Amino acid sequence: MKLKVLLLLFIISCGVNNDLENNSVDIELPALRYNQSTAQSYRVLKTTISDPTVFDAKFPATDLSIGYVLRYYFYTGIDLSSTINELISMDITSFQMPETNDPIELSRAAIYEIRKMSYGSREYKDFVEKYFSSCIDISKISSNCVIPTIYEPVCGCDGFTYSNKSAAECNGVLNFYEGPCR
3 assigned to some structural domain: no
My answer on whether 141 and 64 are in the same domain is no
Tens of pLDDT along 156-169?
999 999 999 999 99
My answer on whether 34 and 102 are in the same domain is yes
My answer on whether 25 and 44 are in the same domain is yes
My answer on whether 23 and 85 are in the same domain is yes
pTM above 0.85?
no
My answer on whether 63 and 96 are in the same domain is yes
My answer on whether 127 and 142 are in the same domain is no
CB 23 within 8 A of CB 63: no
Percent of the chain at pLDDT > 90 equals 80
93 assigned to some structural domain: yes
124 assigned to some structural domain: yes
116 assigned to some structural domain: yes
Q: Going by C-beta distance under 8 Å and a sequence separation of 6 or more, which residues neighbour residue 169?
A: 140, 145
Find the CATH number of the domain harbouring 181.
Answer: 3.30.60
Tens of pLDDT along 39-95?
889 999 999 999 999 999 999 999 999 999 999 999 999 999 999 999 999 999 999
Segments forming the whole domain that contains residue 44:
14-131
My answer on whether 39 and 126 are in the same domain is yes
My answer on whether 67 and 143 are in the same domain is no
Tens of pLDDT along 94-109?
999 999 999 999 999 9
